[in-house]
Structures are given as structure tokens and as C-alpha cells.
Structure 1
Amino acid sequence: MRYLIAETSWKTVGLSKAVSDRGTLVTRCEAGEEIEDFHKIGEHDLVVFDAIQLLRQTSLIRLRELHPDSPIVLIARSPDAEQIAAWLTAGADTVIDETAPLAEMIARIDAIARRAQGAASPRLNCGPLTFDLDARRVHLGDVTLSLSPKLYEILEYIALRPGRLAARESLLGHVYGFENEPAPRVFDVYMCNLRAHLAGIADAVRIETVRGAGYRLELVEPAGAQKPLAA
């Protein structure tokens, strides 16, 4: 997943570093007025910033309009119940007290990001594959697939959207953020390598290329499997 975090306080800087160090993709901005611009350009699974930025140019309503499905998390110092209610009404998904331990903050934002993608827990089953979304690992039975960070991000992105088209442009933006994107042939090599990792289970799960559009993860029903009868 990719988080957008405004590093405008020591707390948000520490939070950004902690989630980045464990492997989560992070888009960083250093000024509150940049939050909306970064969110407008890129697609993010979560937006985190200090509530004090709302006193400047950041608007919860505008952020929500840009990407209605992206959760918004505010960090605030000892907010009262009335203020929290106002922020939630304006578009925030949750408010975390900045005095909370860092581990608790990370657990909270991870849970919100997962649930926004339809994953109730860090464990995501996708056909024969099992994802540990927090540890950023993919298991096939008792075997852990040896995926590079970029291959993991590609597979996680399309696995969270099974059966749905993952537009190539959106996938590139997710994996590379505001870095220079690779030449098209380089990304094609990544996809070939990812398919090679899944070759042994191609009869159960495969990545379909939709020419000129993107990719789709297809879960294949076993031959002869019977669908349950409608009630």
C-alpha cells in the first residue's frame, strides 16, 4: 500500500519513517499546503496529517472530493469530543491523539487502510495465496514466495482488486509514486518475473493482461468444480 504523510511535526516525521522502514510505500510532503496537490496527482491508500494544518490551507472536504475512498487520518494533541465530531463530520475517518505510542498509531492507520480495501485483518486469502499485509509477505502453503519489494507491491495491488481491472497507469503511480517511472519494457520485465513466481499455480491464479488498459488477477475455479445451487 502507499500512504501520503505530511511531515509537518516530529510525530508525523517519526510515523512516516517507521512505516517506510518496514517497507510500506510513503509519499512525503513537507508543508501542509502541499497535501491537496500531492493527493490530486497521485492515488493513495491513506492520507495522514496533523490537524493543525486545517487552520491553514488544507480542507477535509476538498481532500474527500479528490479521492472519496481514500481514508483520512488526523493527528491532534488532546482534541475534545466536540472538535473530533466536527472533523469526522467534515470528512476525516479517525482522529488519533499525538500522545499515543507510535506502535499504536501504526496499528490504527494500518487497520483503517486495510479495511478500506475490504481486508478485515492483515491476513488476505487470494486463491492458493495468503498475504500477510503487515509483514508484506506472500505464502503459498508453507512456502514464502521470494519477491522483491516492487514485485510484492505489484502483486498486492492487483490482489486487493481480484477480478477488477488494475489500470497500468494507476499501478505504475502506486509503485513508483513521484519517482521516475521505468521504461515500458522494464515494467513488462517485472510482470514477466511475477508471472514466473506464480507459474506453479497458473491453474488456480493468473495475471491477465488487458492490452492497452492494464492487468487483472483471475482466480480460476478447479475443473469440474460445481457452483453452489441458488437457494
Structure 2
Amino acid sequence: MQTRILVADDDAHIRELLRFYLQQERYIVIEAKDGGEASEKLETEQIHLAVVDVMMPVKNGWELCEEIRRYYDIPIILLTAKGEMEDKAKGFLSGTDDYVVKPFEPEELLFRIRALLRRYQMVSENIITMGDTVIDRNNHDVKVGDQHFTLPLKEFELLTQLASQPDRTYTREQLIELIWGLDFEGDSRTVDVHIKRLRERFRDLTSDFQIITIRGLGYKLEVRDR
């Protein structure tokens, strides 16, 4: 089945440019001229990845990104002329996987699209595979090569959350909500402690993945390309 990519941008020239390059790569392109039309396309079309402009009428890119993250399990790339750190932070808080600033090289965007699709395809319903590292959600088991590990529950859930969407930046607050729940009475330093433990456990065992600190934002997991 061919990969179907949603391109949501109110600039017709950008849509035409992306359509040309994406179709050259044999992707099917679904276009939307604003956030409202993009929402409709998501409801009626099967979409595998979304490229979303931030400054759109009807519904802006941040709002659309939050909607996609709430209802669909697909990767998102925010496309915008805004490059300031606060705008990037707002994009990651909205749930984007990646962030490309205009003007951009189409080849770079294609590279990012291929990387995101490849990493999302590593994730199945219950098994996450990263090279020789396999996370089994059913058995709460992590296997590295021939070695099996049973992690403390919160460490396992944290690792699984990060690994389920490689390269997506999570804020500490998002991780607290996802892993510990809204009624958690501790603070975000709990995330830092658990991240440190995970790094120490796997540092000398595998180079299949690495948990990266995103200064001022939170954490993401990067998978080593083989």
C-alpha cells in the first residue's frame, strides 16, 4: 500500500512544490488549504503522515497538531517560517514529531519524512523493535540480544512511551501525565531520576537507542540507524 501524506498549507506554491517532490518519491499527496479542510481530510482519508503549516486560517497548525495527536497515531512535521525557540517549544508541546523552518530544502524534508515513517514502522501493537533491543508490552519484558530484563514498572512505561514514538520530544509535564497520571503529587524531577536510571541500565548494554535531553523542553529517544 502506498504511503499517503497530508500537506496542510495555505500557500498554494508550497503545496505545489511538496506535491512535486513527494509524488516523485511515489507518495500519495492529500492537500488541504487550511486547518479546517485538513481536519476533514483526516476524517475521510487514510493518512500515514502529516506535514502541517503553523500559520493557517480556520485552524492553525498548533491546534491541528493537538487534534491529530489526540485522535490519530501518525507522525507530524510542523512547517513554519517561525524559528524562535518559543515557537519550537509551542510546537513540541502541541505534539509534533519534527519541526522544519521555511525556507527549506525539499530534500531535507524528504529525508525527515523517510526517517519518521521508518521509525513509526518499527512500532507494532505490542512489540517495539530497535535493532537488537526488543520491548514486549505484553510481558513487560525488555530483551537486548540474548539478555532479558524486567524493569521497575514506571521505568518500563517511560521507556516504552519514549520508544513508541522515536524522535518525538516529550516535555516533563507530558511524561508525568502519561506515566504517573494527572493526580500525581510529585514534581518533574521524578522524570529526571527515572531517565537517569534508564540511561545507566542500558549505557553499557546497547547502542541501539539513546535518550536525549532537549534543553528547556524535555526528552526524546533516538534510534540508531543501521
TM-score (norm 2): 0.47
Q: Which has the larger Rg?
A: 1
TM-score normalised by structure 1 residue count: 0.47
